[in-house]
Structure 1
Amino acid sequence: MIKDRIVIIDGNSLINRAFYALPPLVTKDGKYTNAIYGFLTMLSKVYDEYDPEYIGVAFDLKAPTFRHKEYGDYKLGRKKMPPELAQQMEPLKEVLDALNIYRVEAEGFEADDLIGTLSKLCEEKGMESLIVTGDKDALQLASQTTKILITKKGISNLEIYDDKKLYDVYELTPQQFIDLKGLMGDKSDNIPGVPGVGEKTALKLLKEFGSIDTLIKNSNKITATKLREKIEKHASDAVMSRRLATIVTDVPVDIDIESLKRTEGHYDYIVELFKKYEFNSLINKFAIQKNEVNNEKKQKNLIKITNLESMLKAKSNMINGREIAIKSLTEESNMLTDEIICISMATREDIYFIDLKNTDKPKEIIEAVKDILSHEEIEIIGHDVKKEIIHFKPYDITINNITFDTMIAEYLIDPAKSSYGLKELSTFYLNESIMDDEELRGKGKKQLKPKDIDPQKVEKYMCQHVNAIIELMGPIEEKIKELQLENLYYNVELPLTEVLASMELEGIKVDKDMLNRLKIEFQDKLEELTKNIYSLAGVSFNINSPKQLGEVLFERLELPPIKKTKTGFSTNAEVLEKLYDKHEIIPRIIDYRQIAKLKSTYVDGLLNIINPITNRIHSSFNQTVTTTGRISSTEPNLQNIPVKLEMGRRLRRAFTAEEGYRFVDADYSQIELRVLAHISGDENLLDAFDKDQDIHTRTAAEIFDVDMEDVTQEMRSNAKAVNFGIVYGISDFGLGENLNISRAKAKKYIDSYLEKYGSVKKYMGDSVKAAKEKGYVKTLLNRRRYLPELHSSNFNIRSFGERIAMNTPIQGSAADIIKLAMVKVYKALNEKQLKSKLILQVHDELIVEAPQDELDIVKELLKECMETAIELKVRLKADLSYGDTWYDAK
């Protein structure tokens, strides 16, 4: 009878698999962590799925093993461990020590031998052993009680083998599996085996003879002459190879099984290490709190509001408290009519919870909440305050004095985080574990609506969250001050939350009839293109299948293959562009893809998300997604409507102003180049903007050494590519590809540019140098972007970091400026009590929907606010247009 379960992990194998399975993860100070992160992810999976009572991790040591002594060429020629992986070995061991996971190591023996010895020992004690490895050599250890969990597809899947499964797959016993290795050898370990004998032949021989020994004794029975000669000639190699491949199960090490007992790790040490390696999302998986009471202590006095009397008393206390954290939970039906289910609020002393479904006078209670949130002297704190503004809008409640948003603040502190959830922040700053949305609601298809969740669970979740918000404000605010981010935070990002909430609530009107007409037109065009493509290909096939398309282009039509992938020929956009002139089918495939995307993503997509109450689309504007500081939008992504295509531009006609209103569109003119002129102080750039010259014509004149009036359209186009490419650190190869010119010619353009714009060249060099010294770059408003890529030993990754170091101060500053402009425009419209509303921001463009009688005021206001958003060495310029649709306004 099985008593206990032990998991034995092949440490070297698993960290190696994790390293190659995951993209590079690097901390702000340049430490690689992807292998450790992947290892811990797999460990968490093993804990969840197998819940072992005992656990240990075996590692190889650098010292030679008995195998090296027996066979000098053992593992000879094996590729050296990459430095990015080597530097993660000791930190992993440090993490395992913090988790109280026993490490098994012994000089002269490999991890496999230690695993074999440990599993044998556990087997004798009647324990079930689970060996986690990516190395199939371990299959020789399989038995009824020892199972091998082989990692498949990186680290996400495990395939389980016991002796029965081994026989089902290979028709071999565990002992015969060693003989298999002896015959076929192992290239990765440089075990010779019998030359020319692969897995298929070795399996056939073992099925016939049973073992290497029997095979050698009966080699005369091998009918294939050449194979018989190989076996007879290399019999000693087969025996030696089997010996090298045999896992030792009696290593002379003294292991006390009880020392492998799974226990809680060292909480503070785990938190410290996980913060150091920026594994914030994993802290709660591994750091088990010393006591759960901690959370309760932090929650102070919990006051449940059940009637109007208790609400009025709470209101009085909260107004005196002056500082309130707020969180609400809605039914999530329609943002414009969404009903709030419950509200939690916290002061420094108390937490208040209101279940609006279980109060005597919900309308009167909401009115009391309105008095609190609209009180001009009460400071409101939240996490993702934009959401709170939207939640309370259907109740005609305006949150007047928002003074802190923990989510936005943390985004400024570390813009590269994958999550800014309260759970992660609470763990990181407060060493407290709280419930997150997934724990509350579940995930995927089983995710519950708030109204269907256990009310006690909802209460705990809500109270934990407001408590965390008010406690987090102090340490996060300190960090904002330490990094000198106060101006960016309090004057740009925090007020911007209100602007974005307003834009989401306002939305933008779409012409449903026009979208339906476009849908039919696009479908007709797709059908026509499909017929043309089939005719040119000479066969019908699935145009949307890269595999089938690759077969048609490169096998049937014999076009030159540009790039191969694991699954066949690449047919991505870059490949099709290079083949554009090779066959008339290519332009049609490109057109097909573009129209198909327009139809599915925008026409069909927009028709599905028109709000039934407003007949408008209410996109979500995200403040904490991009590392550059740019705002992004989702559902739909209005930033990505392709305007280079006429069909894409026509799609903008479907976005229309309300009757009696017009769109006023203002677009910054060449803002990134103006920022470059300011930061670099380059005299040529400053002079061009000061004289209000066309910057691309001026650059063309400088590069090609001609007068401005002699600049041709082609020269200007080439100069434009150089202007925009140079601040992205474009290479001669990249520019040559973009302009379809030789690399030598592209290099000449770049060299000429940098010669004429010497201060730009100096800025680029200085920016990279400073970034390498500090580990980050900054925008004009002090927005930071950390660049661990600069410390990479990988040339491509390091070069990417250098390009980002040059570009971020430019692109990030442009993002800061458009945000400043948005805040100014929003405030000015409100101060003048205009009906006009800021409804859209796309890249460097703002759109205001204005009634006809406010058109002149808005045009002047928009231009002034944008052009005075910040003072630079050059004048900011906004180009204005207006019309009934977004298309007309451009």
Structure 2
Amino acid sequence: MADNATLSPAAQRDGATRHRLYLVDGSGYIFRAYHALPPLTRKSDGAPVGAVSGFCNMLNKLLEDAAADGRVSHIAVIFDAARATFRNDIYPDYKANRDEPPEDLVPQFAMIREACGAFSLPAIEMEGFEADDLIATFAKRARAEGADVVIVSSDKDLMQLVGDGVWLLDPLKNRELREKEVLEKFGVAPDRVVDVQSLAGDSTDNVPGVPGIGIKTAAQLIGEYGDLDALLERAAEIKQPKRRENLIQFAEQARISRELVRLRDDVPVTERLDDFAIRRVDETKLIGFLDEMEFRTLKARVIKAHGLEAAQPEEVVGRGVVQGDGHGEPLSAQAPAVAKTDYRLVQDMAALQDWIDRATSAGRVAVDTETTDLSPRRARLCGVSLAVEPGEACYIPLGHVSAGDLADDPTPPKQIPEAEALAALKPLLEDPAVLKVGQNIKYDMVMFLKAGIRVAPIDDTMLLSYTADPGHGHGMDELSELHLGHRPIPYAEVCGKGKAQITFDRVALDAACAYAAEDADITLRLHHVLRPMLLRSRRVALYETLDRPLATVIADMEFAGIKVDPAALQRLSADFAERMTALEAEIQELAGERFNVGSPKQLGEILFEKMSLPGGRKGKNGAWGTGADVLERLSAEGHDLPRRVLDWRQLAKLKSTYTDTLQAEINAETGRVHTSFALAATSTGRLSSSEPNLQNIPVRTEEGRKIRAAFVAEPGHKLVSADYSQIELRILADIADIPQLKQAFHDGIDIHALTASEVFGVPIEGMDPMVRRSAKAINFGIIYGISAFGLANNLGIPQGEAKRFIDAYFERYPGVKTYMDAKRREAHEQGFVTTLWGRRCVLPGINSKNPAERAFNERAAINAPIQGTAADIIKRAMVALPPAIAEAGLAARMLLQVHDELLFEVPEGEVDRTKTLVAKVMQGAADLSVPLEVEAGAGDSWGQAH
């Protein structure tokens, strides 16, 4: 091993003599990095670099943590060289069921290895062996020389190496995996993990194991018999007949499996451990690589972390934790990273009033709430944080149950009574002269509405980013790294993960303050950056007239919720279950045997092996494809069983997604369902709904209408539904300037019948419904850039005939073709298209070398301006409706937005006036060259109203 000259500075200061080697599972890092970031992250030249970015960030964090640890002296990154290894000679089907890596990931492999070199880290691989074998070999050599070994991975296969001086480090959870964790995972000590895996097998790697034996049973058997060889020799003693039979029959398979899962620790590597000694990074090489990859945020962080050049203090947010009463000097502080922060706990009314006074004087305050649940209607308030100046923030605990760790300190913490604190905050939060800034402030507004506080006026950093710079994510952590070069404290760091996760009310106050006050501070700092960016982007009007006021409208809608009849849902669930049972019986009778209808594998075997239906194809996993497209094709060819399966799947989906789930989503206090609308989740500006998703309930099926019938009005009220008619076709007629379509909309002519007449040369009077259906498919398909292949599939006609239909359409409506060509060209040139009001719809893969990806983005370029304009129109209506309803003296409440539809709860005596007003406002939401038409209905349920 290297001498002390190669130790980290901290280790030298501490006089450490024992070396610690980090062996990084580079292949595992790659796939974690790839799946952790949004897809299609690319450089300006179109090259995919998402995995490279994630890998570099993980690598840099590891180096930062290693430097802080002070005991790490050596690091190496280990990769798989290729799929084929010596294990394929033992068992040719080893890993045969694994899919090929994603196409956009393949070119990044070389760049990732180059990244290791840029960070002055060795990248090791060897043909014929897996990375795990190299890790085992280097670990064995390091232990022989007296060094500790930390394997940076959570891969279960590497757990067999855990032992004296060797452990795993899960880099995402920052959790060590030692003998105790291995025992929890496998039920045996590390030295018997191989035996357990040999019996249980591994479907991921196609390790066969012994049928019918899982991890738990394998651990029990090894615990009883000692090891695999002893177990197999005494298999005849096993009492359970099936288990005994399998162990005897598949004994050799178990031994083969052992050769597959056991790691080689004798790989003939040429590298010496001294080659892995940590070295100072080559500044020119590292910065050059980061510049080439266009990783600006990471570059700034690397420069500061490695001291490569002077840092810019304003770009870095430090972390400081202050515990006390909010007055005077801090009681304790955590050293800030660069810029000092002053985060204070507020635990008495005098301190709270000081912060309220400061915020009132400043005229602007960042506000954030900490709660116990992601749904504000279910959540309890834990505390409120405020920031008045960059670096100066406080946390006001209100609902914490412990001042420290529950096991050690169960005493209630010192905090202001919630009602008293909220009463003091109410004037500030409602003061029209003080701007309240939040990150996704809609959530906080709903929390405060529960306390009778209407927060206004507001600004939202998430929406500022979404409007000004839509080409990336808009979460606070991502915005902080992008604009401030700072990685905020992760939620998991204070609350844990998985089964060990606690709610925020159980977090110790010092940790809660560090996390919550930082959120408010970061939000305020982002506001300083994003407000000017909005001005430079020339989208101030879009933000001020649409996105910002909409947050208040949506908060009111989420707070209101919609009443749901649980008895109706129970009846539907029972009905769906009964019909599914009947369908299962029919399907199994048609199949001639019983099988699991919900199993794609078993269904594929019935369809294509037993029944020998045509056109079956196996996937890379060896199973027959039984997707909806396959079943629909077989159904169209006259086969009954696939049609019944499609019906069964539809009922199963409706039951699990809606009738069962919605019952659990009914709020116990309100008797209503409170969905959450995401304001910054789609590229076109459309709202999306979740927890539960109410936007995907089928509209045109009988079952979908039955589900909608379970959404009901309160006694003495009706539900009113108002829906734009054919809005996207009207937008197409306007922006593509198609005279025939524009005139038809003005004259109220059936647009699909007109298209059929124009394209197919048939009179409108007495038209065959199938001809109109074809024209309707073309009209709506054109909006989505449909191909001849797609239209042929939709109509069940030959592709040549579909092409003739589309050609005839373009000949009759040349403006549509001109529009489509213009949008494709615009997208290729600038990487985005825009809606009528200037909202950018970014298309990151428009210039991809992958034909399928490029074609997808070209279709999106055609559709996005239409769909995005439709989204903006209904948003304009939503913003205009509450004041219009109030001015008219009506009591209607807007409850839901579903695509082109708005749903209201209206007193029975106001239904007609409300329908008239809503239709008028919605029709006036845009000034197009064609009229907007709104259809409105009313009823006791959503099903009746629509």
TM over 0.5: yes
Q: 2:552 aligns with which of 476, 492, 498?
A: 498
The yes-or-no answer on 1:385 pairing with 2:403 is no
The answer as to 2:464 corresponding to 1:409 is: yes
| 2:361 equivalent in structure 1 | 320
Distance 2:32 2:660 in 1: 41
In structure 2, distance between residues paired with 1:600 and 1:562:
29
Q: 1:638 aligns with which of 679, 685, 694?
A: 694
Displacement of 1:434 after TM fit?
Answer: 2.0
* Structure 1 residues 828 and 588: CA distance shift in structure 2, 3 A: same
Mapped contact 1:688–1:694 kept (Cα < 8 A): yes
Find the residue that maps to 1:650 and give its secondary structure.
helix
From 6, 29, 52, the equivalent of 1:36 is: 52
Q: Distance in 1 between matches of 2:577 and 2:26?
A: 55
C-alpha offsets along residues 837-876 of structure 1, whole Å, 9 cap, x if unaligned? 0001111001111101222221122111111111112121
Match of 2:592?
A: 538
Rounded Cα–Cα distance in structure 1 between residues aligned with 2:778 and 2:62 = 52
Residue of structure 2 equivalent to 1:308: 349
* Match of residue 455, structure 1, among 505, 509, 515: 509
Moved more, 29-38 or 42-51: 42-51
Whether the 8 Å contact between 1:117 and 1:250 is mirrored in structure 2 is no
Shift of 1:589: 1.3
Q: 2:293 & 2:530 partners in 1: Cα distance?
A: 15
Q: Structure 1 stretch 875-884 or stretch 341-350: which is displaced more?
A: 341-350
Find the counterpart in structure 2 of residue 175 from structure 1: none
Q: Which residues of structure 2 form unaligned runs of 5+? A: 2-16, 82-100, 169-176, 186-190, 199-265, 321-335, 400-413
In structure 2, relative to structure 1, the CA distance for the partners of 1:705 and 1:328 (3 Å cut) is same
Does residue 53 (structure 1) correspond to residue 73 (structure 2)? The answer is yes
Indicate if the aligned counterparts of 1:264 and 1:288 stay in contact, CA closer than 8 A: no
Give the alignment partner of residue 892 of structure 2, picking from 820, 832, 836: 836
Q: Distance in 2 between matches of 1:131 and 1:341?
A: 38
Whether contact under 8 Å (1:37, 1:279) holds in the other structure is no
Q: 1:637 to 1:144 in 2, by over 3 A?
A: closer
- For the residues of structure 1 that align with 2:461 and 2:138, how far apart are their CA atoms? 49
1:737 and 1:438 map into 2 onto residues whose CA distance is 47
Q: Secondary structure at the match of 2:389?
A: coil
Q: Aligned to 2:395, which of 334, 345, 353?
A: 353
Alignment partners' CA distance in 2, 1:286 and 1:168: 48
Q: CA deviation at 1:26?
A: 3.0
Q: 2:319 aligns with which of 287, 295, 300?
A: 295
Alignment of 1:421-570 (within 5 A): 421-565=475-619, 566-570=621-625
1:123-134 equivalences under 5 Å are none
Structure 1 residues 340 and 24: alpha-carbon distance in aligned structure 2, compared to 1, 3 A threshold: closer
Q: CA deviation at 1:808?
A: 0.8
What's the secondary structure of 2:833's corresponding residue? Answer: strand
Q: Aligned partners of 2:898, 2:41: CA distance in 1, in Å? A: 31
Q: 1: distance between equivalents of 2:489 and 2:28?
A: 34
Kindly tell me: are residues 249 and 887 of structure 1, through their superposed partners in 2, closer, same or farther at Cα, counting changes over 3 Å?
A: closer
Name the residue aligned to 1:577.
Answer: 632
* Aligned-pair CA distance for 1:270: 11
C-alpha deviation, 1:468, in angstroms = 0.8
Measured in 2, the distance between the counterparts of 1:352 and 1:608 equals 36
The answer (yes or no) to whether the contact 2:563–2:673 under 8 Å persists in 1 is yes
Distance 1:341 1:117 in 2: 50
Structure 1 vs Structure 2: percent identity of aligned residues?
Answer: 36
* Alpha-carbon distance in structure 2 between the residues aligned to 1:43 and 1:272: 13
Give the secondary-structure state (helix, strand or coil) at the position aligned to 2:740.
helix
Q: 1:270 to 1:622 in 2, by over 3 A?
A: farther
User: Equivalent residue for 1:789?
Assistant: 845
Shift of 1:698: 1.1
> 3-state DSSP class of the match of 1:351?
strand
Match of 2:294 in 1: 276
Shift of 1:785: 2.3
Residues 42 and 50 of structure 2 are in contact (CA less than 8 Å); yes or no, is this contact kept in structure 1?
no
CA distance in 1, matches of 2:661, 2:35: 37
**Structure 1 residues 283 and 804: alpha-carbon distance in aligned structure 2, compared to 1, 3 A threshold:** farther
- Which moves more between the two structures, 822-831 or 866-875? 822-831
Match of 2:625, as an amino acid? Answer: S
Q: CA RMSD in A?
A: 4.6
Name the SS of the counterpart of 1:849 in structure 2: strand
Relative distance call for 1:638 and 1:361 in structure 2 (3 A) is closer
The residue number in structure 2 matching 1:179 is none
Task: Say whether the 8 Å CA contact 1:299–1:467 is kept in structure 2.
Answer: no
Q: Cα offset for 1:830?
A: 3.5
The secondary structure found in structure 2 opposite 1:788 is coil
Out of 647, 658, 683, the position equivalent to 2:703 is 647
**Which amino acid counterpart does residue 276 of structure 1 have in structure 2?**
E
**1:422 counterpart letter in structure 2:** M
User: More deviation in 672-681 or 119-128?
Assistant: 119-128
- Give me the whole-angstrom Cα distance separating, in 2, the residues matched to 1:450 and 1:146: 36
1:798 and 1:449 mapped to 2: Cα distance?
44
TM-score (norm 1): 0.77
* Count, aligned residues: 775
What amino acid maps onto 2:460 in structure 1? D
Deviation, structure 1 residue 745: 0.4
Q: CA deviation at 1:319?
A: 1.2
Q: 1:365 maps to which residue?
A: 421
| 1:355-382 CA-partner distances (Å, limit 9, x unpaired) | 2353455433321200000011111100
Task: State the 1:148 CA deviation.
Answer: 14
Could you tell me which amino acid in structure 1 is paired with residue 496 of structure 2?
Answer: G
Task: Give the direction of change, closer, same or farther, for the CA distance of 1:286–1:669 in structure 2 (3 Å limit).
Answer: farther
In structure 1, the residue matched to 2:86 is: none
> Does the 8 Å CA contact 2:290/2:296 hold for their aligned counterparts?
no
Q: 1:643 to 1:279 in 2, by over 3 A?
A: farther
**Is the 8 Å Cα contact of residues 725 and 932 (structure 2) preserved in structure 1?**
yes
Give the corresponding residue for 2:786.
730
Q: SS at 1:709's partner residue?
A: coil
Secondary structure in structure 2 of the residue aligned to 1:777? strand
Counterpart residue type for residue 55 of structure 1: I
**1:131, CA displacement in angstroms?**
9.8
- Give structure 1 stretches of 5+ with no counterpart: 62-80, 134-138, 150-156, 172-245
What is aligned with 1:217?
none
CA distance in 2, matches of 1:28, 1:320: 45
Aligned partner letter, 1:311: L
Distance 1:82 1:547 in 2: 24
> AA paired with 2:535?
K
Q: Which amino acid aligns with 1:433?
A: R
Tell me how far apart the structure 2 counterparts of residues 560 and 736 of structure 1 sit (CA, whole Å): 20
**Superposed displacement of residue 462, structure 1:** 1.3
- Could you say which residue in structure 1 is the equivalent of 2:42? 27
**For residues 53 and 420 of structure 1, do their structure 2 counterparts lie closer, same or farther at Cα, with a shift above 3 Å needed?**
farther
How far has the Cα of 1:21 moved from its partner? 12
Equivalent position amino acid for 2:603 in 1: L
**Aligned AA (1:819):** K
- Give the equivalent residue in structure 2 for 1:656: 712
SS in 2 for 1:666: strand
CA contact (8 A) 2:375 2:676 kept: no
8 Å CA contact retained: 2:122, 2:276: no
Change beyond 3 A, Cα 1:772–1:314: same
Q: 1:615 to 1:535 in 2, by over 3 A?
A: same
Contact conserved, 1:789 with 1:801, CA < 8 A, in 2? yes
Please give the alpha-carbon distance, in whole angstroms, between the structure 2 residues aligned to 1:390 and 1:578.
47
Partners in 2 of 1:397 and 1:19 — Cα distance? 43
CA contact (8 A) 2:377 2:674 kept: no
Aligned to 2:874, which of 818, 827, 830?
A: 818
Shift of 1:774: 0.6
Deviation at 1:790, TM superposition (A): 2.0
Verify the 8 A CA contact 1:561 1:569 in the aligned structure 2: no
